[in-house]
Amino acid sequence: METQNVFIFITVSMLCMCFGWGVRGDSIGGEKGAMLPGLLMGVMCVWYTGSELLMQNVFLFAAACALGYFYGGIEPYGSTMGLIIQHDKPRYNPSLGYLALAFKGSIWSGLGAGFLGVSFSAMSGVVYKWYDFVIFFALVPILQQIGYRVFNTPYDPDNGIMPKVCFCERSREEWGRNLMVVAELLVLMIIRRDIFGVIMWAGGAVAGAVGWVVGITVFDKQLHPLKSGKRMFGKFSEKGLVDGWKIMEFIQGCFNALGISTAFVLGWPIAAKNLEQAEAASKLWNVLPLKVDTILSWVFCVLIICTVFLFAVPWHKAGKPIESNTLELFERPCYMVAPLCLVMLGSTTMAGIICGFVMYFVIAQHDALERFNEYKHIRLIRAVLILIGAVIIAVQAFRGFKLWEVWIFCCFGYLIFNIAVIFHPDKIKVKRRKAENFTQFAVSFGGAATVQPFFWLLATVMCMFGFFNFR
């Protein structure tokens, strides 16, 4: 297998994750938003291999990385950032803040990269056994609960009762869950001598840690005046046209991609050797019979759709709304446990659903239930989004989506949803009435005035790359 140009691979990967990480923070956030940069990185790694067989099954690896990044999104970090950027608060403790963010970043990116690496090893059919993944994912919910109980409880901030190691003031921390998954993943890779998987995990972990440290440092410097009294980015910062938070996310994305792509280049000869048998047979590992694959994949697709009702329907218990983390205990297995297990077992159907319908569903669900609520015709909007979802489901079921189609949606689909929120007609009218000229009108959008054009520039470059490589 003749690989693609290393420089182009690393550069475009950095652009992709810079875009994906920034859009995640703008559009969805949390676990579901993190799937976007993961998917883009997975696609780029497959492209680099130059393998026709892997490109034909690209969604397997894209889904593995997307769902791998889902895990890290469960961990809050806004309050942790306060240890660094809130200079006037009693909690100000930059040393602890940097350590905490590096720790959380290493877990997050390490899991995304680790699962991506394992997917390449798994698809070779010579590294893992089918029961490895059945046992692994069956243990995930149990180990996560143990990790949470051991590291992140007790938690009662109103009475001053907090875990012994806590980086957040008012957010329920859950890094113990992911720490246990990291430990389990490393044990599995060591037992099966998956050197490529370990290399990928290490690259992602280091990149995640460094990316957070560099990103938060730039954000801190941009947020507060420098020793000279001036502001980083000068008048742009003074006028509010620079969004330091977004710059931090862009930096994180770039570092994540740099670490993962570099690790992939270094470890690829090992993965390629493992895949020789699959390449010779022109068939990747898949232990699931076609009928079983199809049934299980669509069952979990339905369960993913049903999770929306956990938030759309007013569930009550003892006269009070159920806590969101309780709802998430039902939602998370439907996204990051069962589907990822199927993908690791070679389910092309599940992988296609994740990269196709689910990538639409997570943004449509989020906007229909939260960000579009200010619109007068919200019921009509929801009906349209449901109709579009039905069409996507039909296409998914009867022919599936091509990489080029998914790539276009990843480049521009989320940005279109963003436009509908940022440029709300009523908000535009208010801004136009208050602005005396176009400059004041543009400045009234704050950081969005510079961030959104940058998003569209990145999306255009990515789309051009996809046009020449993915059609």
The tally of CA atoms less than 13 A away on the side-chain side of residue 296 is 18
Give domain status of residue 138, yes or no: yes
Instruction: Out of 40-49, 103-112, 252-261, 434-443, pick the least confident.
Output: 434-443
Q: And the tokens for 119?
A: 């997917």
Tens digits of per-residue pLDDT, 192-239?
999 999 999 999 999 999 999 999 999 999 988 888 878 788 777 777
Predicted confidence band of residue 321 (pLDDT cuts 50, 70, 90): very low
pLDDT at position 315 is 45
Give domain status of residue 223, yes or no: yes
d(CA 340, CA 67) in angstroms, rounded, equals 6
Centroid of chain to Cα 200: 17
Nearest Cα residue to 336 out of 75, 106, 4, 87? 75
- The total of other beta-carbon atoms located within 10 Å of residue 397's CB is 15
Q: Which residues contact 220 (CB under 8 A, 6 or more apart)?
A: 84, 85
Report residue 401: phi and psi, to 5°. Answer: -110, 145
pLDDT at 79 over 80: yes
Handedness of CA 362, 364, 369, 374 (dihedral sign): positive
Tens digits of per-residue pLDDT, 260-307?
999 999 999 999 999 999 999 999 999 999 999 999 999 999 999 988
Give domain status of residue 314, yes or no: yes
pLDDT at position 324 is 54
pLDDT at 328 over 70: no
Q: Which residues contact 376 (CB under 8 A, 6 or more apart)?
A: none
Mean pLDDT across the chain, nearest whole number? 91
Q: Are 233 and 146 in contact (CB under 8 A)?
A: no
Give domain status of residue 289, yes or no: yes
Name the residue with higher pLDDT: 372 or 55: 55
pLDDT at 58 over 80: yes
Tens digits of per-residue pLDDT, 114-165?
999 999 999 999 999 999 999 999 999 999 999 999 999 998 888 888 898 9
Q: Are 64 and 47 in contact (CB under 8 A)?
A: no
Q: Structural domain of residue 49, as residue ranges?
A: 6-469
Q: How many domains does the chain have?
A: 1
Mean pLDDT of 429-458: 83
pLDDT at position 316 is 43
Name the residue with higher pLDDT: 413 or 156: 413
Beta strand 320-321 with 316-317 is antiparallel
d(CA 9, CA 13) in angstroms, rounded, equals 6
Nearest Cα residue to 396 out of 437, 349, 332? 349
d(CA 349, CA 165) in angstroms, rounded, equals 41
Q: Are 407 and 16 in contact (CB under 8 A)?
A: no
Give domain status of residue 1, yes or no: no
Mean pLDDT of 318-323: 48
Residue in the block written with tokens 């550069």: 11
Mean pLDDT of 313-325: 49
pLDDT at 44 over 80: yes
Instruction: Out of 177-181, 241-245, 312-316, pick the least confident.
Output: 312-316
Predicted confidence band of residue 66 (pLDDT cuts 50, 70, 90): very high
pLDDT at position 423 is 77
Q: What is the pTM of this model?
A: 0.95
pLDDT at position 327 is 64
Which own/partner pairs from 190-194 qualify as long-range (CB within 8 Å, at least 24 positions apart)?
192/121, 192/127, 192/128, 192/132, 193/127, 194/117, 194/118, 194/121, 194/127, 194/128
Residue in the block written with tokens 């389910």: 347
Q: And the tokens for 414?
A: 């989320």
Q: And the tokens for 208?
A: 């995640």
